[in-house]
Amino acid sequence: MPPQPVARVYRGTPRNLARLARRLQAGELVAVPTETVYGLAANAFDAAACRKIFAAKGRPASDPLIVHIHGLRDLAAVAETNAAAAKLAAKFWPGPLTLVLRKNPAVPAVVSAGLSSVAVRMPAHPLFRRLLRLAGLPLAAPSANPFGYVSPTTAEHVRESLGKRIRHILDGGAAQIGLESTIVDLRNPRKPRLLRPGAVTHAALERALGVKVARSRRAAQFEKLAVAQVAPGLLARHYSPRAAVVLHRKIDATRPLAADEAWVFLARPAGRRGGNVFSLDPRGDLRGVARRLFATLRQCDDGRFKKIHVELAPGAGLADAVNDRLRRAAAR
């Protein structure tokens, strides 16, 4: 059997963007950069194209896709808006916020896991925005990685994980946020609910809406692949490297560690060096921690460590998003 072709990585030139827009219009898949993580995009109105996403990722049909739009004028074609959605869109779009709204019938059932709702966001990455405009379509795009594995934050991560399953990857540099978008359920605009924490924090959502925003309790989140979810990223185990992840409030930097175990500190530890010692940010700044988290977990997998010890982030806000990803990565 001849070897499978490896996906081509494209620079964001006008010619390449026009070519990739045509590929999307023709029902093909294109891996795209966003400010959060890299996504695997298809025409959101083309059910056959969206099914290719599920096949490439090995993603269960119960896990819905996020639809990405270029501008507010495109929202009505995808979802039924409301006053709460308008407030959050005005404040945070383009940006790392996804809204769950009532679905427009034009969106095929495969996108929404058969539910009457749909998850929508307007991305901020300039290359992805240009591609959306050129394609003239809303694009369904989950993270561009095998289902359940660590999300990709560079084009090379996508090529390593899906390079033999897809044909086109648009390189937009390293993701600036590094964690998936915040997701808010606004199907009932009077009772907004935070489904997944992200760079848009719980406190920021409450300030923008002027009301309390409920948090989803972990026990209420769906943990079975057969159950349709209202939004992606809600399974108890997700974003997981191959190695076992062990979480710590604070790693004792003086303790010995086996050669097949990795240490991942929030900040650079004084006096500790070695091929199994990693830090997410020199000073432990949470923006740097979030940006480097997934890349570091992948690096640990590349080093074939059997166990990865990681520090949890202190505080709230962005720390909630970092710790959410870590707890899911560590779940068994």
Rounded CA gap, 50 and 9, in Å?
A: 21
Burial class (CB in 10 A: 0-12, 13-18, 19+), 105: exposed
Burial class (CB in 10 A: 0-12, 13-18, 19+), 271: exposed
Coil, helix or strand for 79? strand
The residue with greater pLDDT, 10 or 274, is: 10
Res. 225 pLDDT band, cuts 50 70 90 = low
Side chain identity at residue 34, one-letter code: T
For 187-196, what is each residue's pLDDT tens digit?
Answer: 999 999 999 9
Minimum mean pLDDT range among 99-108, 268-277, 286-295: 268-277
For 134-165, what is each residue's pLDDT tens digit?
Answer: 999 999 999 999 999 999 999 999 999 999 99
Question: Which DSSP category does 67 fall into?
Answer: E
Residue with tokens 């166990």: 307
Residue with tokens 């001849």: 2
Q: Tell me what the pLDDT averaged over the chain comes to.
A: 94
- Where in the chain is CATH 3.90.870.10? 8-220
In this model, does residue 43 exceed pLDDT 60?
yes
For 116-137, what is each residue's pLDDT tens digit?
Answer: 999 999 999 999 999 999 999 9
DSSP of 162-191: HTTT-SEEE---S-SS-SPPEEEE-SSTTS
Distances (CA, A) of 85 to 57, 183, 195, 197, 200: 30, 12, 15, 17, 14
Coil, helix or strand for 43? strand
| Stretch 102-115: mean pLDDT | 97
Give residue 218's pLDDT: 53
C-alpha closest to that of 123 among 203, 50, 37, 192: 37
Res. 253 pLDDT band, cuts 50 70 90 = confident
Give residue 115's pLDDT: 95
Distances (CA, A) of 78 to 89, 91, 192, 219: 14, 20, 20, 30
Res. 238 pLDDT band, cuts 50 70 90 = confident
Question: Which DSSP category does 76 fall into?
Answer: G
| Stretch 163-179: mean pLDDT | 98
Quick one: what percent of the chain has pLDDT higher than 70? 95
Side chain identity at residue 181, one-letter code: S
What pTM was computed for the model?
0.94
Tokens representing 175 are 């993701």
Give residue 137's pLDDT: 97
Q: Which CATH number fits domain 8-220: 3.90.870.10, 1.10.10.10, 3.40.50.1860, 3.40.50.300?
A: 3.90.870.10
